[in-house]
Structure 1
């Protein structure tokens, strides 16, 4: 946390009560196991645990103060508020409003983290840039991201996720992005949203409340374009394949797991872009990133040079050398039907012997069985040599290339050495924990985990 503050100052900011002597807060944590000396411990009440029960453990690890909703019998400085989550948001909003940085907000059903990392990497060539770490993109993670801002930061790139209607509106009210990117709308979290239309409406909340000077970057080929345009009060930049787009993808050369080459037409001219990002779908993510960075005042030449050195995010089609022969592609962070299709398509375009290790896709609602069947049918229609399936979500089909495993641990138990393939793709929703398989393969291959 870059924001340093005394307990008395924070209590004044939050209009809160205090107990104990004044303390100087140098960090923040809501997990007592990870508290460091000088931290403020935030006692969130969750469905499974109440942070108030862990204040003593946090104090023992070095916490100097605790943000609480009720007084606890622990010898530590306490700041009492009605609701810890609301207090954290209020604190973060005050930091946002005092920052002179240009804020880029990003949402979408897919591509959020890739675009976040790409935009942050490009902008870092222009000035100090802060960005969301890991998957801190919800009502807790976004305030934590804002609290990491320092006075030196010229740009802040904030990823925003949603599981329910209103989530993006809430997060946008905290971030107040100057540039707002919607990456894509696809079937994701269908159990909570119910339909693609609701997803499009919810993601479109990122365009509500814009100032005339703000910039909206949106998929120009989407059937929801006109609805989003109506909501956006500032300048609109579209990206996609059709000629009407401001950032038009003119040509894409998909080199499988070796990356992409694409040609773009932009308001600043045409350009050739080479990227190590995997999959033709990343052409749209690159186009969105280019549009956003042009809106931030960067030159096209600098943007193109920066895109060439963007690295894949861990767990998102990240290539890891296991041996002279074998490369692991770790895409275990998340999975939707479209992301599965794209990963398998990239595997198809990569020469050599290929193994796909696939886990279940979560939160697909009543159509889950059909989505899983479609993925297997695509994989079997291609030339993948073997397909290992984890969990009970997959249809029971007869094909010599298919192997079924009860769970992630069963696959790990099977892997006593690195399988003899040129390419090994590992992909699933995060809840399947196939990241453990990716880590196990790296251990077997001697790669750094």
Structure 2
């Protein structure tokens, strides 16, 4: 198989996923409350075995899943993707104990994961994050204590009923093994309703990307509180406040001061599949436009008979297919351990998300006012298609990555 064709079994699986999304997942999505985790939908993704495939399949399979689900149910696609984004660092870098505790629950759809990287002042420039992970001895000098952290326990109803998971802090003979997290995370999908967070914090001040550590932080840790943000999004997006939240060496994902590698490795995997999500939306918009323009009477014929319309539809199809092929190529490169993955991943996400924005917008234009009615497929896609150009690295960030990689290759010759 090449990156430019799919085998019959893969095509059949994609068709099956679109049917499952339409018949079993879409009805559950319709019953969800906007701005809150749809736990019934996540549980159904688990019962269908799709969440388990997040940790057993390659990047191409992940793209096929996301594209197929997005075509028929964007909410299901996003729920699956967020589980993968939040839990992949645990799968790839977690200890046996961390994986044993959380991954079976993520796979079953009974635990909600979240990826907490962005901050109010560190979105696109993720290396500038300021959430502090202070060694316990340093934290004690700030006047904070375990009791003070306990007093800051979340009172959010979403956290109610969860058992305490506060660590027993003990000194380590070979250096600081206990930290207190202090600061804020913002624009975090599934916050504040997730059951655990992959949190990136600064353990070495002034070290840029080299001084960041990834921690697995259960939602019931003392001092961790959250609040929802009123966003244009069907799933929750929130902010997290860390008031001397205790973490230990047992909570580290990977190595101390090497957390940025954890973050970038996760994003390199998921960026092409963000492109797949976008391709699924673009294809849904294109198919709706083909049906509409073929059946709509206008100016003595059908809309498709107008050259201005047919050429626009052709352009929509051309761009969608080009984006799809680049997404598949990037995913295949990841699966083959190609050293060029960062550039390919950035290109795939950039082209696909910008393409989807164009295709959905043109579909709305060709449908006219009906496409902006609440409940119309295109009204839904028009709201959904905007965010992927920002999250997991805005389009401008992807261009920067591409240019950096190109110049690095040129200098290495």
- Structure having the larger proportion of residues in helix: 2
With the length of structure 2 as denominator, give the TM-score of the two structures: 0.27
Between Structure 1 and Structure 2, which shows a larger proportion of strand residues? Answer: 1
Higher normalized contact order (CA 8 Å, seq sep 6+, divided by chain length)? 2
TM-score of the pair, normalised by structure 1: 0.25
